[in-house]
Structure 1
Amino acid sequence: VLLEKSNENPFLDRFYQNPRQHALSTQLFFLFQRSQQLQELRQDDMFEPVRVSDFLIDKDQLFAQQNLDLDEYELYLKVYRHLTMDAPTPDLVIYLQAPTEVLLDRIRKRGIKAEQHIEQSYLENINNTYAEYFHYYEKTSLLIVNSGEMDLVGNDDDYQLLVDYIVSLPSGTHYFNPGPSLL
């Protein structure tokens, strides 16, 4: 399992307090951290049947586009291209989509001090950027999950419902909406 280790980023608290000043250092830290994890993955036992990651290296650019000035973004892209040349392509990407209000509520409940400074407009921007990115995503199989009414952390039934759906998936792009239909 490859987990994003946001708690190890020494710039993250400062970023949430002053995004313009700390965006580049925050982004570069995450990029180096994620590329290091992918490097370690390549060196580990390649016969491991299943690997799960809670980050997609390609989406790192989405935050960079939202947070960096043009000259910072160009520098970031040079580093990004160098570090991700041999990044493995996942077999399946799962995008857990939820309305901004739900995300804000989850952030509040999670209780991470630095995240409490996230503004709704910023999160709305990121949410819209993700939606557009995954709308056109074609690099590998994709599952878009409407997770707004699911509790994948605190409800074992929701979690198992999603796992069962994933196990039954053929390749391609799929949408999973376990909530009530509006039709």
Structure 2
Amino acid sequence: MIQYKYIAIEGNIGAGKSTLAKFLHNYFGGGLLLEEFEDNDSLKEFYENPDFALNAELQFVLDRSHQLYRFHQQVNNFIIADYIPLKSLIFARKNLRLEEFKLYEPIAKKMLEGYPQPDLILYLDRSIEELQENITKRGRSYELSMSKDYLNSIQDGYENYLFEMVNVPILKVKAKEIDLRKPAQLASAFQRIFQTDYATAVRNVDLKVLMENTTAI
């Protein structure tokens, strides 16, 4: 039996969060909550001009709040998501000036903390080179100029703040071990993960070993 009601996948830009969320939803069902950002015109402007950072971050908070409100009007006994509601704070710490962040933080918390929060987080760990490769492959024009330094800063943000922001188990998974060419074995490995009752802590999960020592479902 799956021990968790709300599983969120997190990681840097290009880590493969949405791909894994869709895969897990296909096997385990439940409600699927995917991050919406294509309509955030301020995000595209921010990538061209950092002066639009506050506009972009405030738009994210508004959009996420509206999406979460709509999503939780439905009854979902099990949820797979490709982000945590409070992820905005990780990016805002990097993108905003200190005085802007002091203004932004209480607004974001007020608008996002009231919604259900995950009880398990899968953190996808990828090298910066792998992230850049994935970003290039998916071909979003406004992301193609993203620098290695920016991705490094977001990676540092996750390492420094994600593990302090939430009080739930966080499982670090090497994203390159997620082998979608072996879907049955992969699903079985995650089933074993979801059936395990983890204490609140950050721990590494060797997905490759789990896939080699599991029975396909």
TM over 0.5: yes
- Note the C-alpha offset of 1:36: 1.6
Judged with a 3 Å threshold, the aligned counterparts in structure 2 of structure 1 residues 78 and 131 are, in CA distance, closer, same or farther, namely closer
Q: Which moved more, 1:121-130 or 1:87-96?
A: 87-96
Instruction: Pick one of 157, 165, 170 that aligns with 2:197.
Output: 170
CA distance in 2, matches of 1:93, 1:102: 21
Q: Is the 8 A contact 1:94 1:142 kept in 2?
A: yes
1:128 aligns with 2:156: yes
Q: TM-score, normalised by structure 2?
A: 0.72
Q: Is the 8 A contact 1:2 1:54 kept in 2?
A: yes
Paired AA for residue 9 in structure 1: N
Paired AA for residue 90 in structure 2: L
The Cα offsets for residues 9-63 of structure 1, whole Å up to 9 and x where unpaired, read as: 11121111112x1111111111111122222233222xx2211111112221011
Q: Is the 8 A contact 2:121 2:170 kept in 1?
A: yes
Paired AA for residue 127 in structure 2: P
CA distance in 2, matches of 1:74, 1:138: 20
SS in 1 for 2:124: strand
Query: In the alignment, what sits opposite 1:116?
Result: 144
Judged with a 3 Å threshold, the aligned counterparts in structure 2 of structure 1 residues 134 and 35 are, in CA distance, closer, same or farther, namely same
Instruction: Pick one of 187, 190, 210 that aligns with 1:160.
Output: 187
Query: In the alignment, what sits opposite 2:112?
Result: 84
CA distance in 1, matches of 2:96, 2:165: 23
Number of aligned positions between the proteins: 175
Paired AA for residue 58 in structure 2: L
Paired AA for residue 160 in structure 1: A
1:150 aligns with 2:177: yes
CA distance in 1, matches of 2:123, 2:174: 9
- Note the C-alpha offset of 1:136: 4.2
Q: TM-score, normalised by structure 1?
A: 0.84
Query: In the alignment, what sits opposite 1:32?
Result: 62
The alignment's C-alpha RMSD in Å is 2.2
Higher relative contact order structure (alpha carbons within 8 Å, sequence separation ≥ 6): 2
The Cα offsets for residues 123-142 of structure 1, whole Å up to 9 and x where unpaired, read as: 01111211223444651122
Judged with a 3 Å threshold, the aligned counterparts in structure 2 of structure 1 residues 92 and 54 are, in CA distance, closer, same or farther, namely same
SS in 1 for 2:33: coil
Percent of aligned pairs sharing the same letter: 28
Query: In the alignment, what sits opposite 1:13?
Result: 44
Judged with a 3 Å threshold, the aligned counterparts in structure 2 of structure 1 residues 115 and 156 are, in CA distance, closer, same or farther, namely farther
The Cα offsets for residues 148-180 of structure 1, whole Å up to 9 and x where unpaired, read as: x2356x534485365334333212243223459
Query: In the alignment, what sits opposite 1:75?
Result: 103
CA distance in 2, matches of 1:127, 1:151: 19
Judged with a 3 Å threshold, the aligned counterparts in structure 2 of structure 1 residues 176 and 5 are, in CA distance, closer, same or farther, namely same
> Structure 2 unaligned runs (5+)?
1-31, 210-217
1:66 aligns with 2:90: no
